[in-house]
Amino acid sequence: MIAGKMETTRRPSWRQTEKQYFLEDPSKLCFIEENPDISGSPLWPSDSSFDAERITTNLNAAQETLKKIGGFVFARHLVLNGERELDSENLCWQENPSKLSTTFVSGFLLPRSRISASRIGFYPKEGEIPSLKESVKNLKGTWLASNLGYFITSKLIRQLNSRHPKEEHLQESDNSYLGGYFVRQKDGMIAYPPHFGTCGVGITKNGEPVLVNDVRLGGGTIEIGDQKFKWSEVDVNPKSADGKQLVVYTPSHNLETIGKNRINVVVVNEGQGTYPAPKIAYIKDGELRQPAGAVVFSFPSSRRKSGSSRDWIPASAGMTVKFEFEPWFDEKLWNSLDCFYEGLMELSLDGHHNFKDWLHPNAVLTQETFIPNPLRREPRNILIETEKYFGSFAFSGRYEHSLGISFDEIIPALKNILNQLAPKQNLKKVFSLDGGSGAKLCLVKNGEVGALNWVAPGMRNRLGDPNGNTYSCLLLNIGDQ
């Protein structure tokens, strides 16, 4: 048992320090690992405003509902060690937490055939972030909610703008969704190209969630005003733009500067209203730094006419654009989906994760919660698929009784959980979602929100509050809709 091994295992050392985490809150004591290579965000001590008993009540309510449809709820404390080495066959779980040595793990497994409806939505409106409570207040029935993908926040926009000249600055109110997406509507399809070409989650026309791991941008067209421009797969992030009429640069492009001697239209994915909408952030005549939160459509300077260099393209900042695309993945699956959101990170089932897509400067700059270090413990959320089930799990963190989890520890923990809940099932896909204070699982019952995990504190998320910092959300209906 790992519990016996813990006596001789090297533990991380800890020091006590003060940190002002919320501007409106008094300073609180927190714990930080001394080793800078593996340290994470502050781990808050117990707080009277955090009601763990209420979470237990919510978990029991979810368990009662899921049991009726053949699903499972999991909620226990995982014993960790200093080396970040976990054996999936010999993990130690506890009913109660231990100070500075356990992580609270909670989640659920749903038979995919029993998910009666799924939704993805909740985006900033007019620059403001609506609370989850406000967003779901009219929702009937019982739903399970997981905070989903990444948004480029005002804080990140300020950091990104500091790297760019003034004419390349993004507006802090943009609140762009960091990833590609499409949403089919009666009057057409709203769509935006993949940022990183990684993986994502879709909802079928029958309301079933599906994880897709082979997303890549192919050919397509962009419509600006009354003009339509076409690109092909070879025009996406090429090594050279010489001789090309249209080049598409996404944040996964490895070069720091792009578009030399070209006219560059910078398009962001504005999160305003129910769904994001692509719009022009600015137009740059000549070389620019690749923006981390935007896609650039680069045209040759030879398109210039006499007078203004832009009179051939009737566009300005704030103008919306439209796209048409070749399928980003299997065409049959593409046509079966009602909506799809890219920009998540796939975790390898053997534990040897490939962080290549997240190591280049543009990707790293779009995360407040550090990603590439596999040893760093943080609050994390994941989605999983097995042969029969769809599930979501949260590894709570930033508490002295729940340290979060490293990427190296996630897969052994999930395999052990699956062996307990559904031993005949195998992990097929594991996708990492927004982490840090964005790691949330919730039970929504007739518009009432109840947390299913220990929600971490953050700059826009108060201790234990599931409503704040919920930019985008996956909702799964499990009954009584």
Q: Identify whether residues 86 and 196 lie together within a single domain.
A: no
Partner residues linked to 443 by β-bridges: 144, 450
Write out 119-132 in H/E/C secondary structure. EEECCCECCECCCH
Asked if residue 14 belongs to a domain, the reply is yes
Do 179 and 310 sit in the same domain of this protein? yes
351 falls within a domain: no
Question: If you search the block for the tokens 């393209």, which residue do you land on?
Answer: 313
User: 127 with 214, same domain?
Assistant: no
Note whether residue 73 is domain-resident.
yes
Q: What is the structure's pLDDT at 4?
A: 27
Task: Please report the DSSP string for 415-468 in residue order.
Answer: HHHHHHH-TT----EEEE---GGG--EEEEETTEEEESS-PPPBTTB-TT-SST
- DSSP 3-state of 292: coil
- As a 3-state breakdown, the chain gives helix, strand, coil percent values, each rounded to 5, of 15, 35, 50
Domain that holds residue 268: 154-325
Q: How far is CA 354 from each of CA 198, 347, 363, 371, 407, rounded to the nearest angstrom?
A: 11, 8, 14, 11, 11
Token pair 């398109």 is at which residue?
A: 303
- 355 is a domain residue: no
Residue 25 makes CB contacts below 8 A (sequence gap 6+) with: none
Q: Determine, yes or no, domain membership for 223.
A: yes
Residue in 342, 326, 345 with CA at minimum distance from that of residue 334? 326
> Could you give the count of Cα atoms lying within 13 Å of 324 in the half-sphere of its Cβ?
9
Q: What are phi and psi of 290, to 5 degrees?
A: -60, 115
Each residue's pLDDT tens digit in the chain (481 positions)?
Answer: 222 223 333 444 555 555 544 444 444 555 566 666 666 666 666 666 667 888 999 999 999 999 999 999 999 999 998 788 899 999 999 999 988 889 999 999 999 989 989 998 878 777 677 788 988 999 999 999 999 877 887 788 888 888 899 999 988 777 788 889 999 988 788 899 998 888 999 999 999 999 999 999 999 999 988 889 999 999 999 999 999 999 999 988 777 789 999 999 999 988 777 788 899 999 999 999 988 889 999 999 876 554 444 555 656 777 889 999 999 999 999 999 999 999 898 999 988 887 777 777 777 777 776 666 777 888 999 999 999 999 999 999 888 889 899 988 999 999 999 999 999 999 999 999 988 888 999 999 999 999 999 998 776 777 788 888 788 899 999 877 6
Of 298, 325, 352, the last residue of a domain is 325
Q: What distance in Å separates the CA atoms of residue 346 and residue 213, rounded to the nearest whole number?
A: 7
Contacts for 157-164 with beta carbons within 8 Å, 24 or more apart?
Answer: 157/293, 159/365, 160/291, 160/292, 160/293, 160/365, 160/366, 163/289, 163/365, 164/288, 164/289, 164/291
DSSP 89: T
87 and 71, same structural domain? yes
Q: Residue 150: its pLDDT value, please?
A: 79
Element (H, E) at 59: helix 52-68
390 within a domain of the structure (yes/no): yes
Same domain, 166 and 307: yes
Q: Residues in the chain, how many? A: 481
Residue 346 lies in a domain: no
The pTM of this model reads 0.90
Of 51, 41, 44, give the one whose Cα is nearest residue 28: 44
Tokens (6 digits) for 428: 């097929």
Residue 396 CA to residue 105 CA, distance in Å, equals 6
pLDDT of residue 171: 85
How many angstroms separate the CA atoms of 232 and 127, rounded? 34
The pLDDT value recorded for residue 313 is 63
Report which secondary-structure segment, H or E, holds 362. Answer: helix 361-364
- ∠ CA 212-217-218, nearest 5°, is 120
How much is the pLDDT for 307? 46
Distance CA 413, CA 91 (A): 7
Can you give the pLDDT at residue 6? Answer: 30
Separation between Cα atoms, residue 390 and residue 211, nearest integer Å: 9
Cβ neighbours for 332, distance < 8 A, ≥ 6 positions apart = none
Q: Which residue has the tokens 């709203």?
A: 190
Neighbours of 333 (CB within 10 A): 16
The CA distance from 457 to 437, in Å, is 6
Cβ within 8 Å of residue 228, ≥6 positions away? 221, 222
Predicted pLDDT of residue 181: 93
Give CA–CA dist 180/208, Å, rounded. 20
- Is there a single domain that holds both residue 261 and residue 385? no
Do 196 and 49 share a structural domain? no
Q: 160 and 128, same structural domain?
A: no
Last residue of a domain, one of 325, 355, 381: 325
Q: Is residue 17 part of a domain?
A: yes
Tokens of 11: 């533990």
pLDDT in tens, 226-244: 889 999 999 999 999 999 9
If asked whether residues 127 and 253 sit together in one domain, one would say no
The pLDDT value given to residue 311: 52
223 and 309 inside one domain: yes
CA distance 146 to 341: 14
By the 8 A CB rule, do 457 and 154 touch? no
Residue 1 pLDDT: 23
Q: Give 227's contacts (C-beta < 8 A, 6+ positions apart).
A: 313, 314
Indicate the DSSP class of residue 34. Answer: S
Same domain, yes or no, for 185 and 128? Answer: no
- Are 236 and 110 in a shared domain? no
Q: How many domains does the chain have?
A: 2
**Does residue 128 contact residue 468 with C-beta atoms inside 8 Å?**
no
For residue 481, the model assigns a pLDDT of: 62
